[in-house]
Structures are given as structure tokens and as C-alpha cells.
Amino acid sequence: MHRFSKKVSMTVVKRLPKYYQYLTDLLLNDIEKISSKELASLMGLTASQIRQDLNSFGGYGQQGYGYNVLELREAIKEILGLDSDYTCIIIGSGNMGHAIANYERFKREGVMLIGAFDVDPLRVGTVVGNVVVKHMDELEGFVKNHDIDICILCVPRGVGQQVAKTVTDLGIKGILNFSPLDLDVPDDVVVENVNITDSLFTLTYLLKEVTDPE
Amino acid sequence: MHRFSKKVSMTVVKRLPKYYQYLTDLLLNDIEKISSKELASLMGLTASQIRQDLNSFGGYGQQGYGYNVLELREAIKEILGLDSDYTCIIIGSGNMGHAIANYERFKREGVMLIGAFDVDPLRVGTVVGNVVVKHMDELEGFVKNHDIDICILCVPRGVGQQVAKTVTDLGIKGILNFSPLDLDVPDDVVVENVNITDSLFTLTYLLKEVTDPE
DNA sequence: TAGATTGTTAATCGATTAACAATC
DNA sequence: TAGATTGTTAATCGATTAACAATC
């Protein structure tokens, strides 16, 4: 059982949240143990893949038995960094900002919304999630006083890069980016893109594939 | 120059919307031609990768010159199926439903929102995008009368699978799924998932990587 | 024509699958 | 113990990179 992982590939990382979700569901259904084979059929992966994936982090299973759901879930929770709490702010309090602010799951996993910002005077002062929207002018002061881990970016495409520069200059290291553009950020900043336009276009492509006679 | 493509891998398909986006931007900046090398540095890919990708669809380039931006963009637009129009409905008119309904880009690319549905009586009758929210009871009749291409699913996790079954039973072949669960659908239905929770957890993982001393 | 850059083949790299010894 | 299932190595498959002849 090796403790320390060689560099884990992005392919594996992207599957971790799925493992976490499925294990959480199993736990809620009082399932105590699961084999790589069972989990594979549940998740649409192969048993080999699962054993390879999990073993890149450590030996969480037991020969002849399988994996203990509770233990494995805890391990993946920790790997995902969900044993810590995070502070976050939302920039852009339009519908997308509101949608995200109301995701109960974020808070439940320790990601706390503590601020929201917008340039639109009509939105400043309104409530999003459980915070009052402040004007962007107050961003700098706020970030300097609060040690923010994550910025959830929900601004229009046209201003996305500029806002990203502002927040990274202020020292924020993580961006969950809903603005439909690729951000240029320093090396020590991580960005996770949620590009809805790209998803729609992937769908229209696939739709052609299943619909057309070809 | 071969016209008909062997099966294109999902890896390539997922890059197509990005090509489309970058080419659209280039066109707006009046750039007429681009080489694989230039496009690669713009998009963060390699020139080889780009030439391989584009060649799986056909020979769009010209030796010694590069690619004509307008022509290549048109080609990819067509490959993505964006030369056709699509009708779509939104199910679930919460904040996420509203956010999507207001994406101007969808309409601009020919994806027309023609209906929205919700179970909440307080939401029925309100306006989302440019349509009035109907009760879910009216879904069946509506879909039977309108030939819907795409369902944008913005309902809570708990009812996602059930609603997915309803719409696929009604013959809808494409689902853009914002509900944070994996849907089980027939083989001739395509689903594109936008799983915001998964994205957040990927971000917390990456955040640990850049922040920790290790 | 000479220079540039594609299309395409071959080489490399990485991810998935298969197989099985280790072991609970 | 015998059966089951992991951890891990080896084989296969697929995607990326490199290289270069074709050609604009």
C-alpha cells in the first residue's frame, strides 16, 4: 500500500467528483461495501479502470472483500480537498450568479459564499444567496480583508478577462469560470471552466449523429 | 482531400466548439487566414493536433497558405450542426432555467426556446426568456404539437431521472442536462451534462495542488 | 521558382484493458 | 481453508507529437 502518489493525470482527476457522488449515494442507501466490479457497472466504467484510479492514491480496498463505502468516500473527500472549508465570492449577480448562489450543495461541502459583486447599480444592494450584492468598487477592499479562496465568475464574455486579472492580482487562486471564454491567468492560479455554449454545440453535433440517416 | 470521415473520437468532438469560438473571434477581428501554428498558439494546442483534428473531417487547408478563417469557420459550423435550426424547451424555471433562457448566443446560433415548464404553481405564468412558463401537465400536449429537438433540463436532482424518462418517451432526442446526476436514457438519445458540482470539486482538488507546499 | 505550410505517415506517449499473483 | 477480489504488471489501444513529402 503506497501512500504517496506519482502525478495524477487530469483524466483521473475529472473522474474523482463522480466517484465521490456515487459513493455518497451508496452511503445514503446504507450500502456498506462495494467491489470494483459493482461500482464499475454503476458508473459505466470498467473494474480495471476503477482499481487503477483508486490505486494512484493508495490502497483503499481489501482483497476478497472490495471497498468499504464509508472509508473510500472519506478518502476521496479528502483527496478532493473537501475536508477543508473554502470562502468564495460571486462576481456578476445575474441569473447565473443567482443560480450558483442557491446551490445548497456548495455550502454543504464547505464552500461558503461570503460576498457578491456587480457593476450594475440596479443589482447592488439586492440579495443573492445569503449575501448582499456590493459594487465592484468595493471588491478590492473586501478581498484584502477576507482571504478568499474561490471566485465564481459569472460576468459577460466581454469583461471576463479583465475581471479575471483583477481577482488574480488580488491573490485569489481559484476561479470557477462561467463566462464563455478561456481565461489567461498566472501559473499558480487554477481555473475550471463551465462553458455552456460549448456544451450546447457538442450536443447539436451529437444530435446530428443520432438523428441523421448517414 | 477526403470527404467522408471515419468515426471521429469524442476527444476531437469536444474541441470542435472551441475551434468554432476562436474562428468566430478571428473573423470578428477581420483576420482572413491562419496557419495551424498560429491557431495552436492561440488555443493552447499543437499545430499537429490541429491538422490532425481538421483532417478527420476534410482538407480545409491549403499548403503554403494555411486555413481561410471564413471557410473553416463555415465548415465547422456545419460539422457542429449549427447550419440547422433547433427548437428547445426548458424544464425547471428556477434561476438556472432563467440563466439559460437569457443566453443570447443560443438564439443567435439557431437554438430557439419555444417553451418552458415547471411544477411550481408560483412559477407557472411567469416569463422566462421570451416564453411563458407552463405547468408540467401541459408538457405532453405541447411536445406532441411542436416537434422539439432539445430539452434543457434544470430540475432538482431528485426528479431528474423521472423527467428525463418523460421527455425521451415523448421522442425528444437531445438533453442538455444541468441536473447534477447521470441520466439513463435510450441509445438513440444524446445527453450533454453540465455538472457544476463536479466542476467545483475538480477546482478544489486543483486548488490543493497549487496551494499546498507538498 | 523558393518558401511556407498543409496532409499524412510513422514514432511516441499515455490511458485503458487484460491477466494473475497476492491476500483477505 | 476456499472463494473472492484487490493491487499491480503486461498487453493493447488510442491520442498526441514528430517528421517530411506533397503542393500551393
Structural domain contains residue A176: yes
Determine the residue type at A135: H
Task: Identify the residue with better confidence: A7 or B72.
Answer: B72
Written as one letter, the residue type at A165 is K
Q: Supply the pLDDT for residue A2.
A: 41
pLDDT band (50, 70, 90) for residue B6: low
B7 versus B18: which is more confidently predicted? B18
Nucleotide closest in space to B47 (CA vs C1'): D17
CB-neighbour burial class of residue B48 (10 A; exposed 0-12, middle 13-18, buried 19+)? exposed
pLDDT band at B166 (very low <50, low <70, confident <90, very high): very high
Q: How confident is the model at residue B211 (pLDDT cuts 50, 70, 90)?
A: confident
Contact B80, B15 (CB under 8 A): no
Asked whether the predicted pLDDT for residue B158 surpasses 50, the reply is yes
Does residue A73 lie within any of the structural domains? yes
Q: Are residues B118 and B69 in the same domain?
A: no
**Confidence category of residue B135, pLDDT binned at 50, 70, 90:** very high
- Evaluate whether residue B63 is within a structural domain: yes
Q: Which residue is nearest to nucleotide D4 (CA to C1')?
A: A64
Question: Based on the domain organization, do A74 and A95 belong to the same domain?
Answer: no
Q: B74 and B91: one domain?
A: no
Residues of chain A below pLDDT 70: 1-6, 213-214
Q: Residues contacting strand D at CB < 7 A?
A: A 1-2, 35-37, 47-48, 51-52, 54-55, 59-67; B 9-12, 45-46, 48-49, 51-52, 62-65
| Within A 30-49, residues with CB less than 7 Å from strand C | 45-46, 48-49
Residue B212 in this model has a pLDDT that exceeds 60: yes
Q: Given an 8 Å threshold on Cβ–Cβ distance, is B210 in contact with A194?
A: no
| Residues B100 and B68 occupy one common structural domain | no
pLDDT tens digits for A17-68? 999 999 999 999 999 999 999 999 999 999 999 999 999 998 899 999 999 9
Q: Is residue A211 part of a domain?
A: no
How far lies A62's CA from each of A38, A42, A166, B115, in Å? 15, 20, 49, 52
Return the DSSP state at B125: T
Mark whether B66 and B111 lie in a shared domain: no
B61 nearest nucleotide via C1' and CA: C6
Q: Which has more confidence, B19 or B213?
A: B19
| Residue A204 domain flag | no
Give me the pLDDT at residue B4, please. 44
Q: Distance from residue A36 (CA) to nucleotide C13 (C1'), in Å? A: 27
Out of B79, B95, B128, a domain closes at B79
Q: Are A40 and A99 in the same domain?
A: no
The pLDDT, as a whole number, for residue A58 is 87
CA end-to-end span of chain B, whole Å? 51
- Give me the mean pLDDT over the B86-93 stretch: 98
Is the confidence at residue B194, as pLDDT, over 50?
yes
Tell me what the mean pLDDT of segment B8-30 comes to.
97
Same domain, A117 and A192: yes
Which helix H or strand E contains A76, and what residues bound it?
Answer: helix A69-79
- Name chain A contacts of B109, Cβ cutoff 8 Å: 200-201
Q: What percent of chain B has pLDDT over 90?
A: 94
Q: How far is the CA of A48 from the C1' of C22 (A)?
A: 17
Are B115 and B194 in a shared domain?
Answer: yes
Mark whether B110 and B175 lie in a shared domain. Answer: yes
**Contact residues, chain B, for A209 at CB < 8 Å:** 190
Q: What pLDDT is stored for residue B197 in this prediction?
A: 97
Q: A37 and A124: one domain?
A: no
Start-end of H helices in chain B = 10-28, 36-43, 47-55, 69-79, 95-101, 104-108, 139-146, 157-169, 196-211
Q: Which of A99, A173, A199 sits opposite B99 (nearest CB)?
A: A99
> What is the tally of structural domains in chain B?
2
Is residue A94 annotated as involved in ligand binding?
yes
Range of the domain at A15: 10-79
- Do residues B98 and B147 both lie within one domain? yes
Question: Is residue A58 annotated as involved in ligand binding?
Answer: no
Which among B26, B44, B79 is the end of a domain?
B79
CA-to-C1' distance for B52 and C7, Å? 9
Please report the pLDDT score of residue A214 as a whole number: 61
What percent of chain A clears pLDDT 70, i.e. is strictly above it? 96
Same domain (yes/no): A53, A96: no
Does residue B65 fall inside a structural domain? Answer: yes
Chain D nucleotides near the protein (CB, 7 A): 2-9, 14-19, 22-24
